[in-house]
Structure 1
Amino acid sequence: MTNPSAATVDALRSVDPEASVLDSLPGHPMIWLLIFSELAAFGALLAAFSVARALDPATFAAGQAQLDPLIAAVNTICLVSSGWCAARACASAARGARAAARSWLTGAAVLGLVFVGLKLFEYADEIGRGLDLETSTFFTLYFLLTGFHLLHVVLGLVILAVVAWRADAEGVETGAAFWHMVDLVWLMLVPIIYLIR
């Protein structure tokens, strides 16, 4: 997605002096306020995780060694593929092909459900091995960050289901924008939590 240029914003303002950058973004402008606030929240949590790791690298290395990077990789493939389906839904809705948009949104949701199932399986395995919020600072932050993200995935699935009902262009773009934010956050979480030592 490209940022609107100054000329685009000026052109919008020449037509409507009350126009803002939010008006040129796909989907409903209010979703972007939600997206920006959620990105700020995740940014603060990731900064806290990074600071805590810098203060206690041994605990974080030991915690990270107990995670399953294969599940994280499969979940990454699921979410990225799901985001692609959401983008295809936007293209279909823009052409007025509502049935196709619904099909693509269904594909996005199914891949999102696979993500949820794998994440719950991963949590069950970790908890079964005695790893929980109180195990260490690493696992406290790990469960908070990934759990907060998982809640956003579930919310995103609800949003996709709601916009699929009518499958109009603005609704699908709105749902896809939120879903892409969920993808983006996961792509930031994986290297910070699972890979960077």
Structure 2
Amino acid sequence: MSTSPEAAASARHLPGDLAMWFFILAELTVFAILIIAFAVAQRLDVESFRAGRAQLDLSTALALTLTLLSAGFCAALAVLRVRRQRQGQAAILLGVAVLLGLVHVALKSAEYHHLATLGLGLEYSTFFTLFWLITGFHFLHVWLGLVILGWMLLRCLRGAYRDGELGGLESGALYWHMVDLVWVVLFPLVYVLAPGP
């Protein structure tokens, strides 16, 4: 069975705007450099990294991971709902995504406050210097992601997304998935993986 040229073009369509893909690629490059720096520094200072990691709360890190990934799942479902002309349902899903993102922000802020209270600041050790830089940089991206999700939510409430004009919606969801992807790498690297002997 042959398909029309329009259907074939739609099947090959890259979701989101090309500019967002370039932005995501640039951001992933910066994160990759930071992650490599962390891994190299860990190899050079094994004991400091082992001691630093022991100060972190794994249960908090798991909760941070669940909130981010759940928000990403809701954002993905919202895009599907909009494609099916159900912007009301999409708005609910985006509202849940924003709430989960805010829970992530609250948990991360509490973690930062706890570490700062213990005196484990930016200058305490190489581990904590890199911990604050990498997770802080990611934290800023979460904030930007929340602004984007909030904007998507408002547009859904107004019924602003029309068929064939979903580039902004898809780009916003892609950005949040990039934030998720980076955290999926940071979580084991920073909180779980112990350096070898």
Structure 1 Cα separation of the partners of residues 21 and 70 of structure 2: 22
- Matching residue of 1:162: 151
Higher relative contact order (CA 8 A, sep 6+): 2
Structure 1 Cα separation of the partners of residues 15 and 117 of structure 2: 43
Structure 2 Cα separation of the partners of residues 102 and 187 of structure 1: 26
Structure 1 Cα separation of the partners of residues 14 and 25 of structure 2: 13
Where does the alignment leave 5 or more consecutive residues of structure 1 unmatched? Answer: 1-10, 16-22
Structure 1 Cα separation of the partners of residues 119 and 182 of structure 2: 27
Contact 1:164 1:172 in 2 (8 A): no
TM-superposed deviation, 1:176 = 0.6
TM-superposed deviation, 1:164 = 2.1
Aligned residues: 179
Amino acid across the alignment from 1:192: L
SS at match of 2:56: coil
- Matching residue of 2:88: 99
Q: Deviations over 1:45-95 (max 9, x none)?
A: 000000000011011001000011110001111111111100110111111
Amino acid across the alignment from 1:54: R
Structure 1 Cα separation of the partners of residues 42 and 117 of structure 2: 25
From 119, 134, 155, the counterpart of 1:130: 119
Structure 1 Cα separation of the partners of residues 178 and 36 of structure 2: 18
From 3, 6, 25, the counterpart of 1:36: 25
Where does the alignment leave 5 or more consecutive residues of structure 2 unmatched? Answer: none
User: Once the two structures are aligned, what percentage of the paired residues are identical?
Assistant: 47
Q: TM-score, normalised by structure 1?
A: 0.87
Structure 2 Cα separation of the partners of residues 99 and 52 of structure 1: 48
Counterpart check, 1:195 vs 2:192: yes
TM-superposed deviation, 1:102 = 1.2
TM-superposed deviation, 1:24 = 3.1
Q: TM-score, normalised by structure 2?
A: 0.87
TM-superposed deviation, 1:163 = 2.0
Structure 1 Cα separation of the partners of residues 149 and 14 of structure 2: 18
- Residues 56-75 of structure 1 correspond to what in structure 2 (within 5 A)? 56-75=45-64
